[in-house]
Amino acid sequence: MLIVHSYVKLMYNPSMNISENIRKLREKFKFFNTLTDDELSIFLGYCETEQIAEGETLWKEGDYCNYAAFIVSGKVGIKKRTEFEGKYMIVGTFGSGTVLGELCLLTDKPRSVTAVVLEPVDSIILSNDNFELLLTEHTQLGMKLLKHIFIITSERLTRSTDRIAKIF
């Protein structure tokens, strides 16, 4: 039986029952579709929800890496500093169903990009500490998440190299 966490409130639509709200959440994230109801409940128990207003900064390039964000709704712009003082290059925009900052769960390196909210965001946050706890207490579930992180990274790397190849 799936325990209803506060994440359901992020998606809450009074005209739908809780099962429909949960189904909608599963539709947004590939990773959630790989989990049983029990695993999803366990995973979300390690997470928190956060609502972030338009114009707010999730993190800045160089900040300490301490969480990944599952974007339930809204849009986030990712930008990278250039060699010109105060100038940035837009790396991409990401919306509902995207996981951002996932590499922070694997390394202790500072953030490599700045993330700015372009449209109000509802998110599910997994901190580094809770990720480590998840790996220790629910190893198989943690391994599923790791596999998903590698898939995301691989897909983004492929898209990036394709874009670079089109330039030349």
Q: What is the 3-state secondary structure (H, E, C) of the chain?
A: CCCCCCHHHHHCCCCCCHHHHHHHHHHHCHHHHCCCHHHHHHHHHCCEEEEECCCCEEECCCCCCCEEEEEEEEEEEEEEECCCCCCEEEEEEEECCEEECHHHHCCCCCCCCEEEEEEEEEEEEEEHHHHHHHHHHCHHHHHHHHHHHHHHHHHHHHHHHHHHHHHC
pLDDT, average across residues 10-27: 64
- Whether the per-residue pLDDT at 2 is higher than 50: the answer is no
User: Please, are residues 79 and 129 in contact by the beta-carbon 8 Å criterion?
Assistant: no
User: Please, are residues 79 and 118 in contact by the beta-carbon 8 Å criterion?
Assistant: no
pTM: 0.81
Which tokens belong to 84? Answer: 């010109």
- Calpha distance 105→153 (Å, rounded): 12
pLDDT of amino acid 15: 54
Which tokens belong to 152? Answer: 């995301």
Q: Which of 6-15, 109-118, 123-132 shows the lowest per-residue confidence on average (mean pLDDT)?
A: 6-15
pLDDT, average across residues 41-53: 90
